[in-house]
Structure 1
């Protein structure tokens, strides 16, 4: 098991992996359609996009949390 203190990094790792997998798959399909080169092209695009997405999620997530907190009404006590 991974220590709880790494939960935000693990969350970002999994989230960025799944999101980049889906987005790169859609973009690859739109660019070349289903063909013999679809899977290798998709996996290459996914690897590259995950390398960008993972650090981006770690940087953007705290900013997004603060922005959401500023936009959401606080519960009344």
Structure 2
């Protein structure tokens, strides 16, 4: 085992963290850019919006991911 790696049982949570960070960064950046433009306040407004959206998105993703897996299994052939 490579040092510093987590056990496989943690993979769903690690995936949720990575996915929520990337998605909230992109969505909040687009929304902030549209709302305030690319001015000098963009970075601070964006980081604030991103932090708040990540706090909401991460637990939501932990709940939604198993439901999405079940639904996709139901809708798709094996």
* TM-score class normalised by the smaller sequence: over 0.9
Q: Deviations over 1:55-76 (max 9, x none)?
A: 01100000000110111023xx
Task: Name 2:42's counterpart in structure 1.
Answer: 38
Please say if 1:28 is aligned against 2:32: yes
The Cα shift of 1:4 comes to: 1.4
TM-score (norm 1): 0.93
Q: Partners of 1:40 and 1:4 in 2: how far apart?
A: 36
- Normalising by the residue count of structure 2, what TM-score does the alignment of the two structures yield? 0.91
Aligned-pair CA distance for 1:29: 0.4
Counterpart CA distance in 1 for 2:70 and 2:9 is: 20
Structure 2 unaligned runs (5+)?
A: none
2:66 paired with 1:67: no
The two structures, once aligned, show a CA RMSD in angstroms of: 0.7
Q: CA deviation at 1:53?
A: 0.6
Match of 2:53 in 1: 49
Moved over 3 A (4+): none
Aligned residues: 74
